[in-house]
């Protein structure tokens, strides 16, 4: 416990300023600077992302401004991030006669397709 007459300053740290400067280097890179009320600063060099490609297998690839090496996006376990999307949908109306059908949804990842039987509404 502080004794009487003791003053403590800047015990709580907060962000005082944030700056992104893209003129320090060139069109391909920049610098991030975060200033705190304590006088501390954090700086990081940045590379600008030019594009994002989604490959047919669902992998995400970043391309950078000014060229450089493309980079596959990884998760926190250093595994490729894979987007699952619908590759095709098949509707089989010959299943079960006139009152039923079957829908099959295939995904780009090659996993087991989603399949279910449908019942047609005859009238309302």
Q: Which residue has the tokens 């995904």?
A: 107
Per DSSP, the three-state class of 84 is: coil
Residue 124 has pLDDT above 70, yes or no: yes
Q: Which residue has the tokens 């502080």?
A: 2
Map out the domains of the chain as residue ranges: 15-47, 49-83, 86-119
Phi first, then psi: what are they for 18, rounded to 5°? -135, 130
pLDDT band for 70, please (50, 70, 90 cuts): confident
pTM of the model: 0.51
Residue 91 has pLDDT above 70, yes or no: yes
Q: Are 80 and 58 in contact (CB under 8 A)?
A: no
CB atoms within 10 A of CB 11: 6
**Per-position b or e across 48-67, b if 16+ CB within 10 A of its CB:** eeeeeeeeeebebebebeee
């Amino acid at each position: 416990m502080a004794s009487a007459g003791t003053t403590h300053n800047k015990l709580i740290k907060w962000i005082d300023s944030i700056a992104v400067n893209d003129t320090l280097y060139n069109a391909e890179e920049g610098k991030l600077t975060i200033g705190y009320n304590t006088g501390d600063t954090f700086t990081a060099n940045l590379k600008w992302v030019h594009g994002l490609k989604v490959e047919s297998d669902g992998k995400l690839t970043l391309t950078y401004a000014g060229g450089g090496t493309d980079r596959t996006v990884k998760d926190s376990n250093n595994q490729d991030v894979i987007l699952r999307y619908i590759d095709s949908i098949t509707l089989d109306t010959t299943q079960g006669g006139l009152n039923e059908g079957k829908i099959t949804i295939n995904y780009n990842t090659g996993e087991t397709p989603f399949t279910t039987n449908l019942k047609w509404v005859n009238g309302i």
